Structures are given as C-alpha cells and as structure tokens.
Amino acid sequence: MGDFQPDLTEPSTAPVAASKQVSDGLADGQSGVLYRQLRQKPLNIVGARGSYLVTDTGLEILDATCGAAVSCLGHNDARVHEAIQEQLQKVSYCYSLYFTNSAMENLCKFLVDSTGGKMSRAFIVASGTEAVEASLKMAVQYFMELPTPQPQRANFIARKQSYHGNTLGSLSVGHHIGRRALYEKVLAKNVSHVSQCYPYRDMKPDETVESYVGRLAQELEDEFQRVGPDTVCAFVAETMAGATLGCMPALPGYLKAMKEVCQRHGALLILDEVMSGMGRTGTLHAWEQEDVVPDLQTIAKGLGGGYAPIAGLLINQHVVDTLTKGTGVFSHSQTYQGHPVSCAAAYRVQRIIQEDSLLPNVREMGAYLGQLLQEKLGDHPHVGDIRGRGLFWAIEFVKNKETKEPYPPSQGVSWTVHTTGLKPEHAVSLIPGSGCVDGINGDHVCVAPAYNTTRAEIELIVDRVSRVVYDALAQ
Ligand SMILES: *Cc1c(COP(=O)(O)O)cnc(C)c1O
C-alpha cells in the first residue's frame, strides 16, 4: 500500500475509542515501527488471498478498496509471483544511469502502445509522488529547451481539494489543507489553486453542465491572467478526482475546456492518473473517456497492483521531441528508477488485465456497484452523495441532507466509518477521506474493488458497506 492512506494523517479526527479495537491484533510489547498513528497499533496482516486480508487473529477482512486502489488483481496471483521469480533469477537490480533492462523495455513499450503512441515514452519510478515530482520538473525543463526558451514559466496552477502526493513539491500542488497545514511555511509559493469540478456542491441550481463547465474554464482563464499567462508552466489535475474530493469524475467537456485554456496560453496539461488510471475507471487511461490527451501523465497505484512499488511518467511526443532536440538529458535520477523486478511485476499485471479482459468487467461491475450503493444507501439520512465511475466510488456523508451541511471535522466521521468496518462483525476495509468540501470539512469513504470482482462479491461488499454506514452513523 506504500505510504499512501488518504486521510489517516490527522489523529485529532480519529476518535480513540473507535480506533482502540483495531489494536487488538498485535501482542503487547515494544514495537520498532513508527506507526502512522504513533499511539495505536494497527491490525497485523499475516496473509492475503483474492479480495481478503487475513489478520494474525484469523479475521478475514474483505478488502473492498484494494488498499488505496492498488491491488487491482486482488492478492496472491500466482502468475505475478512467477514473473517476479523469473526476473529475480535474471537480474534484480541495475543502475538506470547507464543500463537499461528488458523488463523496463517491455513495460514501457506496453505503456506507450496503450496510448496509441500519443504518449511516446515512459519514465519509471517507485511511487506516485515521485512520478508527480518528475512531471513538474520535466514541465520546467521543457520550457527551458524550446527553440526559444521561456524561463519565466515558473508557476503551476492546480485544483482545490486535490491530492498529488506527499513530498514537499507534490504536496505544494495538492490542496488537502489538513495535510498541508504543518508544512505550509516550507511549501512552494509558485502554485495557486482553482475550484474543483464538484457539481454536488458547486453547480448552481440554474446552471447547465455546459454553463458550469464554462464558469470553471473562465476561472482558470482568470487565474492565468492573474499570475501572468506567459508565466504558467502547467495546469495539474487528477483526471478523476480521487482521495481528497472522493471519486469525482469530470463532467462532460470539462477537461477539454481546461486544456483549451492551457493551449491558449502555451502551458502544459499534466494529468495525474496515479489513482484513477491503469483501468480503475473502466479504460486503461482515464483520459480516454475525456477527449483530451495530456502533455504529461502520471500513473502508479494500479500499475503494479501492489506486487511491487512502481509508478510512471508518460510523456507526450512533442515534449520528448523538445528534450531530444534540446539538451538530450532528463537530469532527474533516482536509484530505484526502472527497477527490473518492479517492472516485471507490473508488466505481468498489465498483461493479465488484457488477457483476462478485465476492463469490460470494471465497467460492468462498476455500473452494478454504483446502482447497488444507490439502492442501499441513497435514502440514508446522512448520505449526501454517491458518485464514481468504473470501480471507483465514494459515499459522501453529511450532517444535514437538505442543506448539505458537513459534520464537524472533530467528529471524525469518515474515520469512524472506517474503524467500524474493521470490527470483526463487519470485516470490510474502506478508505476514509476528509476535506472534500473545502480541504478541511467533509467526510467520505471510497470503495474500489479489484478488477476481477464478481456480481456476488459486489453484492457482498455493498451489503457490508451499508451495514457499516448504518452502524457507524447511529453512534
Ligand atoms: C496516491 C496518489 C499520489 C501519490 O502516490 P504515492 O504512491 O502514494 O506516492 C499522487 N497522486 C494521486 C492522484 C494519488 O491518488
């Protein structure tokens, strides 16, 4: 699951009483681990198969979210194990500064081909955060290496309630206020944020989709004008908003309108598909459903399906051409770049997605998941919105369904739903999220099953999720 767990970083929102019961799994005694919540031991996972995680007390937890939308084939697929084993016997590591390796070659060829060659090269790193960092640096370099360099392009525009990673650079483009707060003083000052596409709260009653999208495009245009249109390096957005806003697909025409603003002013479009990409929303690349092609694209979570840490930056032909004709160097080195074992694992995961025709299943089961969630929870007095696409759905909780008033953050509602799910009587794992309203307020949980899920499993997931929601919100 890497270092990413959406909103568990605010212990103040995690009621201790509710989280205590998740600590029963480990024997007492001093641990050497710095847990994400320093005073609580989380459940200890000792095994996994398919969609289930097994704790050391034998509890089988239905992993309804693939961790953080990662384990897209489920756990323990022997075919991936075999590919990893084979690669280990060939070469486990070589340094990408002066070597390439077949596993990386295979994976990158697959990725480039999967875009129809629109993204003509791939750059492999070890986490989504690193891919985002690489994209920001490449955007800066691109403008320095144009035939007429544009060194003044030093600003980024991103979106509110977005998540792009947790290093200082990626945190600067993201906009989860709770997560930024502690570091605000050291975050980059050359990033500004425009509104998300969030119809549930922000589309006015008298607006059509077209006029709402037009308003958001105008807001981006105004932001370009405010900072100086020729100083903007790139606009950064999740193709489908994930962790912070909670599984919000772009409205029709939205990303196209945003790209038009970028093109008008010569800025790049960076689409962050770390969570929404690699099949999660029903197509391998989420932008395929949006009538846009990005200049730079980040991918990660579903790429390696959790079998190895891996992420990638996909680069549009015209950017590759500019760098090739420019210095011919992308001076961004990381030791574990293009790791052979991670590449072999990801390549096998991706071939399984194709061989087993899992993308049609994501679309079909995703529609079924959305329909069942709506049927079982749509009428709940504290469920404000149910939204998603493919196998990527969120349930947003509200204190008042009429006014859409959120719960106070101090109540830690999404965390309570999450910890309730981990009780033995429910045994289902959900991703808790907060900040969807404004980066601080707002609670949701995400559901993101494996791509090979079945109708029966979707029914089981929705059954457990709805019991958990009724149980947790009655507390
Ligand atoms: C998870 C995520 C990241 C960060 O990826 P890590 O692998 O946790 O570093 C970046 N962008 C988006 C959209 C994400 O969901």
* 80-355 under CATH 3.40.640.10, yes or no: yes
CA gap 222, 214 in Å, rounded: 12
Band (28; pLDDT cuts 50, 70, 90): low
Q: Is the CB–ligand 1 distance for residue 238 below 6 Å? A: yes
Q: What is the mean pLDDT of residues 329-349?
A: 96
Q: Is the CB–ligand 1 distance for residue 375 below 6 Å? A: no
Band (5; pLDDT cuts 50, 70, 90): very low
CA gap 402, 451 in Å, rounded: 35
Q: Is the CB–ligand 1 distance for residue 70 below 6 Å? A: no
Q: Is the CB–ligand 1 distance for residue 133 below 6 Å? A: no
Q: Is the CB–ligand 1 distance for residue 307 below 6 Å? A: no
Which residue matches tokens 């037009």? 214
Distance 27 CA to ligand 1 centre (A): 32
Q: Where are the beta strands (DSSP E) in 246-356?
A: 248-249, 268-273, 296-299, 311-316
Residue 6 in this model has a pLDDT that exceeds 90: no
Which residue matches tokens 């959305």? 370
For ligand 1, what atom is nearest to the CA of residue 127? Answer: 7
Which residue matches tokens 């403008």? 143
CA gap 110, 436 in Å, rounded: 35
3-class secondary structure, 405: strand
Instruction: Choose the weakest-confidence range: 12-21, 62-71, 278-287, 460-469.
Output: 12-21
* pLDDT at residue 179, rounded to an integer: 85
Q: Is the CB–ligand 1 distance for residue 272 below 6 Å? A: yes
Distance 298 CA to ligand 1 centre (A): 9
Instruction: Tell me the pLDDT tens digit for each residue of 195-225.
Output: 999 999 999 999 999 999 999 999 999 999 9
Q: Is the CB–ligand 1 distance for residue 134 below 6 Å? A: no
Q: Is the CB–ligand 1 distance for residue 6 below 6 Å? A: no
* pLDDT at residue 439, rounded to an integer: 87
Q: Give me 83's structure tokens.
A: 């590919």
Counting every residue, how long is the chain?
475
Residues in CB range of 415: below 8 A, 6 or more apart? 7, 8, 13, 14, 15, 18, 19, 432, 434
Instruction: Tell me the pLDDT tens digit for each residue of 461-475.
Output: 999 999 999 999 997
Residues 78, 83, 87, 89, Cα dihedral to 10°: 50
* pLDDT at residue 14, rounded to an integer: 39
Residue 25 in this model has a pLDDT that exceeds 50: no
Pick the residue whose CA is nearest to atom 5 on ligand 1.
128
Q: Is the CB–ligand 1 distance for residue 165 below 6 Å? A: yes
CB 123 within 8 A of CB 315: yes
Residue 395 in this model has a pLDDT that exceeds 50: yes
Give the pTM. Answer: 0.93
Q: Is the CB–ligand 1 distance for residue 300 below 6 Å? A: yes
Ligand 1 pocket test, candidate residues 129, 281, 313, most atoms within 8 A of CB:
129
What's the chain's average pLDDT? 93
Instruction: Tell me the pLDDT tens digit for each residue of 309-331.
Output: 999 999 999 999 999 999 999 98
Q: Give me 405's structure tokens.
A: 């008033």
Higher per-residue pLDDT: 372 or 180:
372
Residues in CB range of 340: below 8 A, 6 or more apart? 87, 90, 91, 92, 93, 94, 101, 102, 103, 104
CA gap 156, 218 in Å, rounded: 17
H or E stretch at 226: helix 209-227
Q: What is the mean pLDDT of residues 419-435?
A: 96
Using alpha carbons only, give the angle 359, 235, 226 rounded to the nearest 5 degrees.
Answer: 155
Q: How many CB atoms lie within 10 A of CB 360?
A: 10
Residue 416 in this model has a pLDDT that exceeds 50: yes
Residues in CB range of 220: below 8 A, 6 or more apart? 157, 194, 235, 258, 261
Distance 276 CA to ligand 1 centre (A): 10
CA gap 425, 44 in Å, rounded: 17
From 387, 389, 373, 379, select the one nearest 433 (Cα to Cα).
Answer: 387
Kind of pairing between the strands at 296-299 and 119-125? unpaired
Instruction: Tell me the pLDDT tens digit for each residue of 220-244.
Output: 999 999 999 999 999 999 999 998 9
**Chain-centre distance for alpha carbon 271:** 11
Cα→Cα distances 98→95, 125, 457, Å: 6, 16, 47
Ligand 1 pocket test, candidate residues 164, 244, 431, most atoms within 8 A of CB:
164
Domain ranges of the chain: 17-76+358-474, 80-355
Q: Is the CB–ligand 1 distance for residue 303 below 6 Å? A: no
* pLDDT at residue 150, rounded to an integer: 98
Q: What is the mean pLDDT of residues 142-170?
A: 96
3-class secondary structure, 47: strand
Residue 278 in this model has a pLDDT that exceeds 60: yes
CB 455 within 8 A of CB 463: no
* 17-76+358-474 under CATH 3.20.20.140, yes or no: no
102 by Cβ neighbours in 10 Å (0-12 / 13-18 / 19+) ranks as middle
Band (1; pLDDT cuts 50, 70, 90): very low
Q: Is the CB–ligand 1 distance for residue 163 below 6 Å? A: yes
Pick the residue whose CA is nearest to atom 10 on ligand 1.
164
For ligand 1, what atom is nearest to the CA of residue 301? Answer: 7
CB 285 within 8 A of CB 277: yes
Distance 316 CA to ligand 1 centre (A): 21
From 196, 202, 169, select the one nearest 183 (Cα to Cα).
Answer: 169
Pick the residue whose CA is nearest to atom 15 on ligand 1.
275
From 351, 419, 378, select the one nearest 11 (Cα to Cα).
Answer: 419
Cα→Cα distances 175→44, 133, 187, 327, 370, Å: 31, 15, 11, 33, 27
* pLDDT at residue 27, rounded to an integer: 53
CA gap 438, 183 in Å, rounded: 18
Residue 2 in this model has a pLDDT that exceeds 50: no
Q: Is the CB–ligand 1 distance for residue 132 below 6 Å? A: yes
Kind of pairing between the strands at 311-316 and 119-125? antiparallel
